[in-house]
Amino acid sequence: MSELKELATVIRIHRKAANLTQLQLAELAGVGKTVVFDIEKGKETVKFLTLKKILKVLNIEIQLRSPLLDNQLIINEKS
Amino acid sequence: MSELKELATVIRIHRKAANLTQLQLAELAGVGKTVVFDIEKGKETVKFLTLKKILKVLNIEIQLRSPLLDNQLIINEKS
DNA sequence: CTTTTTTTACCGCCATAGCAGTAAATTTGA
DNA sequence: TCAAATTTACTGCTATGGCGGTAAAAAAAG
């Protein structure tokens, strides 16, 4: 399973857990319904900002990790 | 400091640590030099795939985190 | 079963991300 | 100091992401 398939799955699982339809999630995130569908389908070329809007609604954080980053930086925890 | 400023900073720090110029990083990632500059400047509307290409070169991993996923991690942790 | 809801899919349109080229600022380092 | 390297900053162009509308599958509810 590819990374973005996993991203798609993670989003779908969280959306279901939140008891939201794709349309509801899109509206809450302030994006078009097409994007939610595309992301859950595994589209790789979505805008990072758009993805973040959706992840925020679902309370999913993006964390950057690397050998250099001992303290992991959470980059979408606020705003 | 905004989230994406942090992302910009993380990328710059890793790029410097790898001793790469923006142009070299762009070429290694297979993207245009403009994008590397824009991201390090804090541009919020970069494509997720483009960002991933750059992060990959710098050996930075994107990790999704949420209460739901954390529980899963803890459950599966000591297998 | 039938009806309702949700998902999948496709459509044209618009806004813009990404591109190379260029050149000016800035930094580096010899 | 001063030349080279790098970064910053524009440009016009092309490709495409995101949009709502629509409607057919698919799933859920009754």
Summarised one tens digit per residue, pLDDT across range A10-65 is 999 999 999 999 999 999 999 999 999 999 999 989 999 999 999 999 999 998 99
User: How many Å separate Cα A57 from the centre of its chain?
Assistant: 9
B19 touches A: beta carbon within 8 Å: no
Residues B28 and B15: their CA atoms lie apart, in Å, by: 11
The pLDDT score that the predictor gives to residue A75 is 63
pTM: 0.86
Confidence of residue A76 (pLDDT cuts 50, 70, 90): low
Tokens at A6, concatenated: 């996993």
Pick from A2, A14, A1: nearest CA to A51: A14
The pLDDT score that the predictor gives to residue A40 is 95
Strand C bases near protein CB (under 7 Å) are 5-11, 16-21
Which member of B6, B46, B66 has the closest CB to residue A75?
Answer: B6
Cβ–Cβ gap B60/A59 under 8 Å? no
- Torsion region of A64: left, alpha or beta (phi above 0 gives left; psi -120 to 50 gives alpha): beta
The pLDDT score that the predictor gives to residue B78 is 31
In 3-state terms, what secondary structure has residue A35? helix
Chain A residues within 8 A of B58 when measuring between CB atoms: 66
